Amino acid sequence: MFDGMPPALLKELGVGGKGDKCKGFKLFLASEAANKKCEAFDTKTACEAGGCKYEGSECEPTAATMMKVMGVEMDQEKMQAEMAAKVKGAKTQEEMTKITVDVMTKFLKPMVPVMNDMNATQVEIAKFDKRCGGGKTKAACTADKVCELQLKFNQRTDNFTQQCDVNKAKAVEETGCSGVAKAIADLDAIERKAVAAGAKKALAGKKTKQKAAKDAVAAYKKANPDANAETDTRLKGLETEAAAADASVIAASATVATADADAAAAEKKADETPADSSTLRALPSIMAVVAATVAAAFA
């Protein structure tokens, strides 16, 4: 969000300074939780009713909601008004730049430590993503203590499968950070609940295909009462498709059962995990509140 800002303002704000990765983890986990909650809404009405905003075909948290949840305030209108009023009195470009720097510093400086913390955390997250990503095999995944197999949707196979991902609790522990057990448990519960919901939708789709396959077999037999699958290749093909649809439904039903059990266990753990001692200060999504103002000021 600081792209295009004058060097003087960047220096004054302290952008790029050393961040606290442990504080950053708190922000990252809270941000992920808020995003996942909104992603669960699949209609514009439900999205907006849940305090989120519907952009295109995606539901995401509003900046106002995020600030309210996190207890952070950033009066964008006041910032814009103050800047506009002071800039009117500027007689030179130098004066305008100084005024802009002063106003932006006043409003944005409290946000910089948050950004620096997030940047420090992102470096750690990138390392863990690399260790647990790339389609690791089950053996390779379980051999790394910060990785674990999680049920996720596989677009290539159109099914939910066990895929390697980062075990957030162990990853945070490896960095030497603590105090985020509740945040991790809450996020895990949200993610697993979303997987369970997705698995149910996938099952519903497979049941629809199953019915269509069975109906196709029945219709063909009705139209061809003497047809025999051993000699009629068309009937044999239809029955093969129906059998495959049956198997797909059975597998998807098992996936739903697994996903529901995982979600229930995660929710129970989240409920039983004590609240984290420290409070969060902000979220990276909050930065979007001031991004437009920053871009306009230096356009």
pLDDT tens, residue by residue, 250-277: 999 999 999 999 999 999 999 999 998 7
Tell me what pLDDT residue 143 has: 95
Q: Please, how many CA atoms are within 13 Å of residue 166, restricted to the half-sphere of its CB?
A: 19
**Which has more confidence, 98 or 207?**
207
Rounded CA-CA distance 280/288 in Å is 18
Residues listed for the chain: 299
Confidence of residue 281 (pLDDT cuts 50, 70, 90): very low
Question: For residue 3, what pLDDT is reported?
Answer: 54
pLDDT for 256 equals 96
Q: Give the whole-number percent of the chain exceeding pLDDT 70.
A: 84
In this prediction, residue 286 carries a pLDDT of 39
Alpha carbon 58 to chain centroid, angstroms: 11
The two most distant CA atoms of the chain are separated, in Å, by: 95
pLDDT band for position 283 (cuts 50, 70, 90): very low
- Express each pLDDT in 71-81 by its tens digit: 556 677 888 88
Q: Are 283 and 70 in contact, with CB atoms under 8 Å apart?
A: yes
The helix-helix angle for 287-297 and 63-70 (nearest 10°) equals: 130
Distance from C-alpha of 25 to C-alpha of 184, rounded to nearest angstrom = 10
Residues 118, 28 contacting (CB under 8 angstroms): yes
| pLDDT, the chain, mean | 84
pLDDT in tens, 46-80: 999 988 999 888 999 987 767 665 555 667 788 88
What is the reported pLDDT for 2? Answer: 54
Q: Is residue 195 predicted with pLDDT exceeding 50?
A: yes
Distance CA 225, CA 218 (A): 10
Average pLDDT over residues 172-176: 93
Q: What's the angle, vertex CA 125, arms to CA 137 and CA 64, rounded to 5?
A: 125
